[in-house]
Chain A
Amino acid sequence: MDLSRFLNPDVVALRPSGIRKFFDIAETMDDVISLGVGEPDFATPWHIRQAGIQSIEDRKTRYTANRGLHALREEIAAYMRRRFGLTYDPASDVLVSVGGSEAIDAAVRALVCRGDEVILPQPSFVCYEPIVRMAGGVPVVLETRAENEFRLTPAELEAALTERTKLLVLPYPCNPTGAVMERADLEGIARVIREHDLFVLSDEIYAELTYGVDHVSIASLDGMRDRCVVVNGFSKTYSMTGWRLGYACGPADVLTQMTKIHQFAIMCAPTTAQYAAIEALRNGDEDVQKMRAQYDARRRIMVDGFNKIGMDCFEPRGAFYAFPSIRRSGMTSDEFCEKLLYSQHVAIIPGTAFGACGEGFVRASYCYSVSHIKEALSRIEAFLREIGS
């Protein structure tokens, strides 16, 4: 039976993630060395896992408040205060969500009306564009450039504005480029936002994973607190991807609307994960510091390795990805990754999976042991020799 008449054409029109074919090939090979994942290799620190287990033993197996456990929202507010000097009321300004993604979705749906333009800097995470489309918004892609180290500049932002512009999605530290925005960079963006009376959805899921530079939240700049929803979560920071827990902080007027969407679609985030998250925020700083030090060592090995074999790579200072150029190969990113996979069984992601302007680049994750990264780099080097690049 043809079911197409039942389907929502707007959803049918969404393009599936661009790497499906690639993914299928990689899954069938049994000796693949992958640099392809966007999640930490560390297990969730044991004391955090224990807190989850303990909560189950203590029969904490029911719904929580829609917004999330009050104790968790208090810890989140305390974190935002000690880390960024931002004040959020746990009762009205914090929402605990199912991963950062749900918070992004709820924020977009709460803010974007049909026809509103949403500025999306790319290359960036793949979920923003479909989420904006499903909310009826119009994604306006803003291509960030390698020569700016993939930062967003005020001039580029200003040039992309129209009368319909409402929202800027600010994805820093950035997946896939590893780019960060420092205070001075953000000041310029904040000025444009204030002058043009816009709102910001700041995806700060990698806030704790920066190297040699402290993350600055745009919400902490003058006059920006009430113009921003900040999204963060536990997946990357505490190696908790499978627990599915994130959060949003912002002005009560926006969070109230987001909470309605969350309440009707989700009820509440997983209870076990919320108890584990309280432990993470209370006693997890040392774990984060240790993991960050490991990522930093791996990052340096990887970036140095790419530069040495002729794949120019700017220094990524956030997240856990390197974004080297493959221009010298003369291939497209897609071709490069597919041939590399077939020839040397190394899986990396074409930059184009994160937007058309990712052409000429590939994303390599350093969520792997140093020995794994070294093996992958030596296979990539062999591949470059093979293609005479």
Chain B
Amino acid sequence: METDQLSVSIWRGGDGGAYQTYQVPRLESQTVLDVVTYIQREIDPSLSYRFACRVGVCGSCAMTVNGKARWTCRTHVSRVAENGALTLNPLRNLPVVKDLVVDMAVFFDKWEKAMGAFVGDKTRDQALAAVSPSDPKRKEASAGIECIGCGICYATCDVVDWNKDYLGPAAMNRSWTLINDERDVARIPRLQAIAGDNGCLGCHSQQGCVERCPKSLNPTGAIAGLKRHTMKAALKGELT
């Protein structure tokens, strides 16, 4: 350990808030989530932040740590502290509720807009679809399916910052998994939902989402796939 104290500056309040600095004892294998939990329990119970599972499954605890969006439960202080200091902000591109808590409603509304829900045409009485794990389309779907909805890609994406109507990486990654799901029957309406400049065509392929995704997914690749499908659908006259 470099120092036995960590200086932590945390954004307090909403948009018109300010930084407040806390001294937190350094511990071995300490995560950033451990740090905010310590502050709330031992120093300032009014600090608001969000977490649930603490083990990288639920996607609740994402924050901006020293300028980069990260899942704090699996981010070790030793990896991110600069000169014994941390600066914590809420996620970018989302409205701040208070302190480190953002309103995720816009983020998930866009999943809905991108038709992120499965649409099937089978009843429970019909046989299960036999999907081969080695099928190329299934492989594409499987590559993107592990998204935990943490919003880190959305907070990192500059296109979201510039265009509030842009659907964002996570929502379109979800659409891409469904486009490749052979049981799904809503391909054209879904392409219609993600086409255009506010959808996949707005992506600049900067790959900030790929760089920051804690699950090492490739939303830029998913969006590139959607661009190809959208283009073919437009040429076939399937888009309006």
A and B interact physically: no
On B, residues with C-beta under 8 Å from A are none
